Homo-oligomer: A and B are copies of this chain.
Amino acid sequence: MNSLTERSPVSVWNFPKLEKCPEILKPAISRRLALLIIGDCSVVYSGRASSTLDWGERLVLVKSDGSVVVHRREGYEPVNWQPPGCIFDTSIQPDGLLRIRAIRPSSRESLDIRFRGVFLIVELNLIDRGGFLLYASEEDMKRAIVACPSLIEDGFRPTMEEKRQPSGFIDVFGLDRNGNPLIVEIKKGPVRREAVFQLARYVSKMREGNPEVRGMVIAPSLGKGTMKLLETLKLEFRQLSPKTCLEALQKERRTRESALSHRFDASSD
């Protein structure tokens, strides 16, 4: 009785007959469980582009959000896939093959997987509430610069983040110690030519109104020809790594917290 109510994180079918597979797959999909199908299949994709994949043994992972990945023996990336939002149709074809069709109505795409043999089906009922934290992203660098503007230079006062411009977005915008506008473009990796052009676009637009506008790239390093390019375009570079930013941010937070606790100490007097 308890076993009836108890969740099983995995249910396994070993070498199921093709004609039995829809009976396994359909209920799992409607119960919004994830499915793993390992077998000999071929795949046709049609949508933004088209592709065909001939017969071979692969692993197919279908998730409850309607995403699909087809993995081959090697390679980090799936050979075929669909992002979330698919509806599924599983059936046995007239020729006896198992067909799984994933259709994405939003972008009129379809993935057509045909199996001529299935080695394993795993129904997955996974519980996963674990938090995910990512450090040292460009977003972290931006936060650090806003919290500690002296990372850029003394006297810098940021006024806006993610400033929307007709020519695009600006990461951080502010005024330098002399009151001149300073546009900051942040990169967490080596600066490429393209990033410089991106900044140049923003800056040249703003220099039309005020030739004193400065543009600065913040990054851990510069790509090959980018130093010269920056000079030509009268843009600046300040070396700053994600790690440095993170440390500055954490230090600033500690300072703020201790200031806060002091206030509490004082108020509790």
Contact = CB atoms under 8 A, between A and B. Distances in A.
Interface of A: 9-10, 12, 14, 34, 36, 38, 42, 48-59, 61, 63-65, 67, 69, 71-76, 79, 81-84, 119-120, 122, 124, 126-137, 167-168, 188-189, 193, 197, 201, 242
Given A56-B129, A67-B75, 15 more contacts: A9-B57, A38-B124, A49-B134, A49-B135, A49-B188, A51-B135, A52-B132, A57-B128, A63-B75, A63-B76, A65-B75, A76-B81, A79-B132, A167-B193, A197-B201
A209 to B, nearest CB: 18
State the oligomeric state as a number of copies: 2
B135 A50 contact: yes
Contacts of A12: 12, 14, 120
A120 to B, nearest CB: 5
10 contacts: A10-B119, A12-B14, A12-B120, A52-B132, A58-B128, A63-B71, A63-B76, A73-B126, A75-B84, A76-B81
A76 B70 CA distance: 11
B168 A132 contact: no
A170 to B, nearest CB: 15
Contact of A132 (B53, B74, B167): B53
